[in-house]
Amino acid sequence: MLSYFLANLTFAGIYALLALGLNVIWGMAGMINLGLAGFFALGAYASSIATVYLEFPIVLGVSLGVMVAATAGGVLSQLSLNLRGDYLAIVTLGFGELIRLIATNETWLTNGSDGISGVPGPFRSSLTPLAFNAVACALVISTVLVAWFISERIRKAPFGRALRAIRDDEMAAAVAGKPVRLYKIQAFAIGSALLGLAGAAYAHFNSYVAPDIFRPLLTIYIFFALTAGGTGNTLGAVFGAVLVIALLEGTRFIEPFFESLSGVQAASIREIVIGATLIFVMRFRPKGIFAERPPRPLGTSD
Amino acid sequence: MELLPQLLINGVIFGSLLAIPAIGFTAIFAVLRFPNFSVASHATIGAFAGYAANVWLGLPTVPALLFAFTTAAAVGCISDEIALKPLRPYGALTAAIASIALTIVLENMVRLGFGNDLRGYNLPLMRDWRMYGVRVGPQQLQNLILALMIMTIVFLALKFTRTGKAMRAVADNPELAELKGIDPTFVGRLTVFFGMGLVGAGGMLLGLGTSIDPLTGFRFILPIFAAAVVGGLGSIPGSVIGAMVIGIGEELSILVLSATYKSAVGFFAIVIVLIFRPRGILGERKF
């Protein structure tokens, strides 16, 4: 039971990293990214391939995963910078599918739909499964804390203020002399780096990656986490991620009461609940549980 | 077997089937101004409604297709009214995210009822025809003719009926249309009804050639978007041309790429068009 709890806390941490990454891209800079599962997959696969096939140490593998995702984010945003938001939605969704297609088909690199197994975890061989879960949980939570700290710094820094200005009125930000294009690419790359980091953490904790894991469903989970928590609010992003895992796992405990349901049916009901709740939250609490509170300018008081 | 003519024929057939859901997607975009990603689940719903009519009730293809159209149109209307319409004032992106959530809800409702198994339609087996070394199945030909008929009806309806003209007016200039006494809410509902109906019929037409499962619609989502974007988002003739480009492009890609990468053609087509001609082939507005 403790092991199960720790594992879910770890997954919540990974979702929190994803939500923080999406928060930089969508919450702060207002760029939509419906392909975040693709960046998550890039981080996971890059780190797995580096540590399993090339036998890199884990730290190097994870950094590689982060770099690959950040580069892909930079390039994709560079390509689609002039597009209006709804086009970017289509392009990023397509990107996510493309990554999944590559992961399924380039068997020499990714082992196709069988996936890569035996991805090393930190100290996995010398620990009991429970102790490993505890170590992984502690590592992921400290990573979330670091990512949260960085996000907060970005949010309060001039860079973060400029991003919000771009999000709210791009033209005005450009007139004020902000390098809009550069900032948007940077924001997308920073956010993608966090998404890639989450992917790498997932691969090393789970010890297995396969294309099935990176379905667009994940994108909805994370948008749910961010929207429920409060778009643009870093604390809300973390809270929302915990909420998603609690919803997903909590509903498992109700399942035994409905014996007539098959596993597939139970899973589909869970997903219906998540999707419907997201629509509900967007409609009745569009600012989320914690609304965004932009930091006050220096030298002002309440 | 002659490879190139065969691929061209396959491409034209696939393209004309793809055009049906692409018209639905682009029409909804033109009137309501947001990319409605729930086309994925509505294509699935159409495919399964057609399956139920065909296999359970034993109806032939054309009535089953009508049933697919009506079911997807009705589900589209109701779900839009409940889930998406209240969110449209928050902006196109909010509505787009909600439409993905809606897709997940609807797709899982299909899964709840039908499970994940692959299902095939009950169709008479017929031998392929061979002409000049090119093979065409009678079923494929029937699907092609059905798709062309649907397209003809759509174009005639948009051109000559009052409703069709009202839709074009709202798509072109919503404020002016409203001044002229056209109710945009009503036109929006009609567009969702016919648009999602077309998506559902298209889902069934695309499913007829293979077997279907709850992810059927999602598999076609990239080529559908690509058709709409290549042709120019919001332009109905454009979406037909776009669908032909994507259909033929996907088939011809087999000459240079492995067949499993067919659906990547859609993504690259989107990126290339957006870099060099963002408004697409027939799009009038530059975005």
More confidently predicted of A122 and A60: A60
- Nearest Cα neighbor of A137 from A9, A238, A1, A4 is A9
Residue B145 falls inside a structural domain: yes
Give backbone dihedrals phi and psi of B135, rounded to 5 degrees, phi first. Answer: -100, 130
Q: What is the rounded CA–CA span in Å between residue B129 and residue B12?
A: 17
pLDDT at B132 over 90: no
* A58-67, A245-254, B116-125: which is most confident: A58-67
Give backbone dihedrals phi and psi of B233, rounded to 5 degrees, phi first. Answer: -55, 130
Summarised one tens digit per residue, pLDDT across range B64-88 is 999 999 999 999 999 999 999 999 9
More confidently predicted of B216 and B132: B216
Q: What is the rounded CA–CA span in Å between residue A249 and residue A247?
A: 6
* A57-61, B21-25, B261-265: which is most confident: B21-25
Q: Residue A302's pLDDT band (boundaries 50, 70, 90)?
A: very low
- pLDDT, position B175: 85
Q: Residue B239's pLDDT band (boundaries 50, 70, 90)?
A: very high
Compute the average pLDDT of residues A237-243. Answer: 90
Residue B193 falls inside a structural domain: yes
Q: Residue A23's pLDDT band (boundaries 50, 70, 90)?
A: very high
User: With DSSP H G I counted as helix, E B as strand and the rest as coil, what are the percentages for chain B, rounded to 5?
Assistant: 75, 5, 20
Q: Residue A213's pLDDT band (boundaries 50, 70, 90)?
A: confident
> Hey, are the CB atoms on B270 and A101 less than 8 Å from each other?
no
Residue B285 falls inside a structural domain: no
Residue B78 falls inside a structural domain: yes
Helix axes A263-284, B92-114, angle to 10 degrees: 160
pLDDT at A301 over 60: no
How far apart, in Å, do the first and last CA atoms of chain B sit?
45
Residue showing tokens 């690509």: B226
Interface test with B, best of A77, A212, A277, A278 (most B CBs within 10 A): A278
pLDDT at A153 over 80: yes
> Hey, are the CB atoms on A268 and B112 less than 8 Å from each other?
yes
Residue B281 falls inside a structural domain: no
Q: Å from B126 to nearest chain A CA?
A: 33
Q: Residue B287's pLDDT band (boundaries 50, 70, 90)?
A: very low
Percent over 70 (pLDDT), chain A = 96
ipTM: 0.86
Summarised one tens digit per residue, pLDDT across range B171-193 is 888 888 888 888 888 999 999 99
Q: What is the rounded CA–CA span in Å between residue B216 and residue B185?
A: 31
Contacts of A4 (CB under 8 A, 6+ apart): none
- pLDDT, position A300: 56
Compute the average pLDDT of residues A210-236. Answer: 85
Residue of chain B nearest A268, judged by CA positions: B108
pLDDT at A124 over 90: no
The strand pairing partners of A116, in sequence order, are: A209
Q: Which residues in chain A touch residue B275, judged by CB atoms under 8 angstroms apart?
A: 79
State chain A's mean pLDDT as an integer: 87
- For residues A279 and B102, the answer to whether their CB atoms sit within 8 Å is yes
> Hey, are the CB atoms on A275 and B287 less than 8 Å from each other?
no
Q: What is the rounded CA–CA span in Å between residue A33 and residue A19?
A: 12
Residue of chain A nearest B106, judged by CA positions: A272
Give backbone dihedrals phi and psi of A116, rounded to 5 degrees, phi first. Answer: -100, 125
**How many domains, chain B?**
1
- pLDDT, position A295: 66
Compute the average pLDDT of residues A187-212. Answer: 93
Residue showing tokens 């010890």: A207
Give the DSSP letter string of A182-227.
HHHHHHHHHHHHHHHHHHHHHHHHHSEE-GGGG-HHHHHHHHHHHH
Name the residue range of residue B144's domain.
3-276
Residue B82 falls inside a structural domain: yes
Q: Which of B90, B116, B274 sits opposite A87 (nearest CB)?
A: B274
Reduced 3-state DSSP string for A151-167: HHHHHHCHHHHHHHHHH
Cβ contacts below 8 Å, chain A against chain B, sum to 130
Residue of chain A nearest B272, judged by CA positions: A79
Residue B284 falls inside a structural domain: no
CATH code of the domain in which B26 resides: 1.10.3470
Q: Does B129 touch chain A (CB under 8 A)?
A: no
State chain B's mean pLDDT as an integer: 90
Burial class of residue B1 in the structure, from the number of CB atoms within 10 Å of its CB (0-12 exposed, 13-18 middle, 19+ buried) = exposed
Q: Residue B286's pLDDT band (boundaries 50, 70, 90)?
A: very low
Please state the pTM of the whole predicted model: 0.88
> Hey, are the CB atoms on B101 and A278 less than 8 Å from each other?
yes
Q: What is the rounded CA–CA span in Å between residue B182 and residue B168?
A: 11
Q: What is the rounded CA–CA span in Å between residue A21 and residue A150?
A: 11
Beta strands (DSSP E) in A1-62 are none
Q: What is the rounded CA–CA span in Å between residue B226 and residue A100?
A: 17
